[in-house]
A and B are shown apart, each in its own frame.
Chain A
C-alpha cells in the first residue's frame, strides 16, 4: 500500500486538475491533463525529435561545463594563490544572464547547436565548481599533514585524497546542475535555433497555443526532474553519502585592507577587459558583430545610447527587485514557519527539493499566461525562480542548529518560537545569504527571459530588438551592463553578509 501511495497521489492530483479545468471551461489559460495527453498523442513524433535535440545539447553542455568546473577546481586546489582571480572570473561569467549571451553566441556560432551547448555549459559550471570546491576542502588537516610527512605535494594530495573525498560533493553539484543544463539548452534555442523544445515553446507562445505551451512546459520540467533524480540515484549508489552543502562563494580569506582590495578589483577588471579583447583578436572575429571593450566604451559615450540603455535597465530592475525580494522573503519565511511544525517540514522537504529541480524559466510561459505580461507576471516568474532554492537552503540551514543548543533551550523550557528566534534563525543566516547571492544572477536571468519572451519591456526586449536589427554595439553594451549590475549586487550582498555573519556566525567569517 505504501508503494502505491505516490501513484494514488498523482492520480488524485490529475483528477482534481481535470475537474478544475472543466469547471473553468472557456478559460484559455489552463489546459487539462486530457488536453495535454491528446496534444502529446497527436504530436508524439515532433515532441520526440525536439526532446532528443534539446536533451542531446544539454548533455554535451553538461559534460563540457562540468569538465571546466573540475579543471578550475583542480587549478585552484593545486595553485591556491590563483583562487581569488579564478573565482572572480568564474563568477563574472556566471553573472552574465544566459539570455544576454545567447544572441552573441548565435552570431559567433551560426545556426548550429553551438549556442545551445555553450549556454548549457555556462549554466552548469559555476554550481558544480562551488560544490566541488567545498568537497576539495572537506578533508581533515591530518590527511594533508600525512601527505606532507611523506614528502608529497599538492598534486599528489589532490589525486590521492581530495579527489576521492570530494566525490559526494561533486555529485551534489552535478545533481543540482543537471536541470540547469536543460535550461541552458532551451534558452539557447530561444535565441534562434531551428529545432528543439525551446523553438516549439516560442512558437506555442506566439501562436497562443495553450495546450502546446502546457505540454512543453510539463515535458521540460519532467525531463529536468528525471535528470535530477537519475544523478541523485547514481550518487547515492556510487558514493553512498550525500552531504548538505551551501553553494557559497569562495572561502578564500579576504584582506581587510581596503586599498589592497580595491587594487585587486581594479586588476581583475583590467584582466577581464584584456581577456575580452584578446579572445576576440585571437580568433580574428569580425568587428561588425564581435565588439571589443573599446567599441562598447565609444558607444556608451553617446548620451542617446546611454539614455536608451539605462532607461531599459531601470525598467528591468524595477521588475526584478520586487520579485527578488519576494522570492527570498517567502522562501526564508516559509522555511522558518515550517520548522515550527517538524512533521510538516519533513513532508514538504522532498517536494520542495524536487520542485527546485525544475528550471522555472521553462514554465515561465505558463506563469505569464496566468498572471499577465505586466509587473505581476514578471514578478511572479522572478519570485518563483528564487523561492525554491531559497526555501530548500533555508530549511537545511535551520537544521544546522547545534543539537546541544536545542537541548539547552529545551532544558530551560523555552518554546519553539523562542528557539526559532534565538537559535534557529541565526543558524539559518549563512544559508540565507548564500541563497541571496546565488539568486542575483537567477533573478536577472528570469526577468530578462520573460522580457525577451513575453512582456516587450526592459533590457530583455532591447536585446531581442538589437539582435534582430544587428545593432551589435547596443547588444554588447546590454551584456556588459547586466554583468556589471549582477557582480555589483552580488558583491554588495557579500559585504552585507560579512557584516551580519560577523555577529551571528563569526566562525564562518575569516
Chain B
C-alpha cells in the first residue's frame, strides 16, 4: 500500500435548510495521519463521509490521488472504520476481518497475522456477540487494514469503548496503520487522542464547518500513553483547546 494525497477543493454540503459544511479547501499529505476535531455536530463526520464517497459535496471536489472517492472505492483502495464496529453477527472474527479483503477483491492472506497483531489470538473463531466492545473494535480496525488501503478513514473508532480500553487501543492500534503507510483521517471528539495519534490536527468551527486552525504535531514517535505527560504534548493540547474555544 502507498498513501496518496487527499485534496478537498472548496467543498460544501447542506442538508435541507441546514448548512453543514462551508467552503473548505485542504490537502492531506500522503501517508500522514490527520485528525479532524471540532464541536459536536459541526460536520466532521460529514467531511469524512464525503471523502469516502458516501455523501457527495454540493459544490467543490474531493480527489484521492487524482481519482474521485468512488473510483478509489471500486478499486478496493479505500477503507473505513466506524464508531459502531458494524461487524456481521453471523461471521466469526476471522470471517469478519476477511470480509474487508473480499469486498476489496484482494487476497485475505494476512488474516491470522492481523488477528495476532490486534491481540485477538484465541478468538479467531468467536462471533461478535462473544467479544467485548474493545475486541469488536479491534476486529473492525483489522478489517479495515486487511485490504491494505491507500486511504483509511476512521470515524470516532474508539468513541464507543470504555476509558481503559480506549487508552489501550490508542497505543496498540495506531502503529498498525502507521506501519502500513495509508493516508489516514481520524475524526475524534478527544483532543488528547487527536494529538496522540496524528501528525496534524485540523480544528473545525461550529456548524457550518470551516477550517479554523491547522496544527502540525511534531511529537517524536513511537508514541504511547507516557507521551501524554510530556510538556510538548500538553502544549499542543492547549493549542488545540484554545483554537476550539476561540471559535466556539
Contact = CB atoms under 8 A, between A and B. Distances in A.
Contacts, number: 54
A149 B79 contact: yes
Interface of B: 49, 52-54, 70, 72-76, 78-80, 82, 84, 86, 88, 90, 99-100, 102-104, 147, 153
A261 interface: no
Nearest to A164: B90
A152 interface: yes
Given A147-B103, A151-B74, 15 more contacts: A142-B84, A145-B80, A146-B103, A149-B52, A149-B80, A149-B153, A150-B73, A150-B78, A150-B100, A150-B103, A150-B104, A151-B75, A152-B103, A156-B103, A165-B88
A297 interface: no
A411 interface: no
Q: Is the interface of A mostly helix, strand, loop or mixed?
A: helix
B73 A148 contact: yes
A140 B73 contact: no
B76 A143 contact: no
A160 B100 CA distance: 12
Given A149-B53, A151-B75, A142 B90 contact: no
A147 B49 CA distance: 13
Interface in A113-169: 140, 142-143, 145-152, 156, 160-161, 164-165
Interface residues of A, number: 16
Contact of B88 (A151, A152, A164): A164
Contacts of A146: 80, 82, 86, 103
A221 B53 CA distance: 55
Contacts of A151: 70, 72-76, 78
Contact of B53 (A140, A143, A148, A161): A148
Given A150-B104, A152-B103, A145 B73 contact: no
Q: Is the interface of B mostly helix, strand, loop or mixed?
A: mixed
A165 to B, nearest CB: 8
30 contacts: A140-B84, A140-B86, A142-B82, A145-B49, A145-B52, A145-B86, A146-B82, A146-B103, A148-B53, A149-B52, A149-B53, A149-B54, A149-B78, A149-B79, A149-B80, A150-B78, A150-B79, A150-B100, A150-B103, A150-B104, A150-B147, A151-B72, A151-B73, A151-B75, A151-B76, A152-B103, A160-B102, A161-B88, A164-B88, A165-B88
Contacts of B75: 151
B104 to A, nearest CB: 5
Interface-centre pick from A140, A148, A150, A152 (highest chain B CB count, 10 A): A150
B73 A149 contact: yes
A148 B54 contact: yes
Interface-centre pick from A145, A147, A156 (highest chain B CB count, 10 A): A145
Contact of A143 (B49, B88, B102): B88
B78 to A, nearest CB: 6
Nearest to B91: A164
Nearest to B147: A150
A235 to B, nearest CB: 14
A156 B75 CA distance: 15
Contacts of A160: 99, 102-103
A160 B88 CA distance: 10
Contacts of A149: 52-54, 73, 78-80, 153
Contacts of A147: 103
B101 to A, nearest CB: 10
A143 B78 contact: no
Nearest to A149: B80
A152 B105 CA distance: 10
A140 B83 CA distance: 13
Contacts of B73: 148-151
Nearest to B80: A149
Contacts of A161: 88
B227 to A, nearest CB: 31
